[in-house]
């Protein structure tokens, strides 16, 4: 596939344009996911989209997927550093769909729970529900989001080469690397996503264009 270098600012502009051009933009609620390992900082890109979308008249709501991890008793059932558990069990995709994505369907209530569980304390956040206005945009970020049948209008994958992922992953988190290798092999996120951005160097991203 052709790869086109793009500046970080232009990437934000391009994604803003793409979201604003989605069917129903400005009328129905849209759900956009930025998928990527923590080393790619998908949350930073999602944050950067908030103000440009608001300037287009599209109210936004940010939800990190990290607020929807399963309890530690489930995540750590096979040990604290099990990459298969990290891949399969950590994200409570059922709760994410139920509390965040499904209410934004056409005719839905628009009431979203921004977080369910604090990933550090492993306690319920008791966050209040937040209403996203019709025509608003949900910006979800997190790792290993694709291939889960989550209802989303646009998915963006931040791709890292194995070398870049290993280099930018802190030593205490490198046990997760086999999970991302499995994700690449089984889900093939670069093909599953609507848009893929090579993010080996966040200062010099590159857009992967369909061949």
Residues 30-79: tens digit of each pLDDT: 999 999 999 999 999 999 999 999 999 999 999 999 999 999 998 888 88
Rounded Cα–Cα distance for residues 33 and 36 (Å) = 10
Rounded Cα–Cα distance for residues 151 and 161 (Å) = 27
| pLDDT at 5 > cutoff 90 | yes
Rounded Cα–Cα distance for residues 36 and 45 (Å) = 10
Pairing outcome for strands 206-208 and 137-142: unpaired
Q: Is 36 helix (H, G, I), strand (E, B) or coil?
A: coil
pLDDT confidence of residue 76: 87
Residue 208, strand partner residues? 3, 196
Q: Which of 95, 55, 54 is nearest to 74 (CA)?
A: 95
- Give residue 116's Cα distance to chain centre: 16
H or E element at residue 10: helix 8-20
pLDDT confidence of residue 211: 52
pLDDT confidence of residue 210: 67
Q: What percent of the chain has pLDDT over 70?
A: 99
């Amino acid at each position: 596939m052709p790869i086109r270098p793009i500046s970080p600012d232009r990437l934000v502009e391009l994604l803003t344009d793409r979201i604003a051009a989605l069917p129903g933009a400005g009328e129905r609620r849209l759900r956009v996911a930025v998928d990527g390992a923590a080393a790619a900082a998908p949350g930073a890109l999602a944050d950067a989209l908030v103000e440009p979308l608001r300037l287009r008249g599209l109210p936004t709501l940010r939800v990190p997927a990290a607020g929807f991890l399963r309890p530690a008793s489930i995540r750590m059932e096979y040990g604290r550093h099990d990459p298969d558990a990290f891949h399969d069990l950590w994200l409570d995709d059922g709760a994410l769909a139920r509390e965040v994505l499904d209410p934004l369907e056409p005719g839905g209530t628009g009431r979203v729970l921004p977080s369910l569980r604090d990933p550090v304390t492993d306690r319920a956040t008791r966050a209040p529900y937040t209403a996203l206005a019709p025509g608003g945009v949900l910006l979800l970020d997190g790792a290993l989001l694709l291939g889960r049948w989550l209802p989303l209008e646009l998915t963006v994958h931040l791709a890292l080469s194995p070398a870049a992922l290993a280099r930018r992953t802190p030593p205490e988190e490198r046990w997760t690397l086999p999970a991302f290798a499995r994700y690449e092999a089984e889900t093939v996120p670069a093909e599953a996503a609507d848009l893929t951005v090579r993010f080996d160097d966040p200062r010099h991203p590159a857009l992967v264009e369909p061949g």
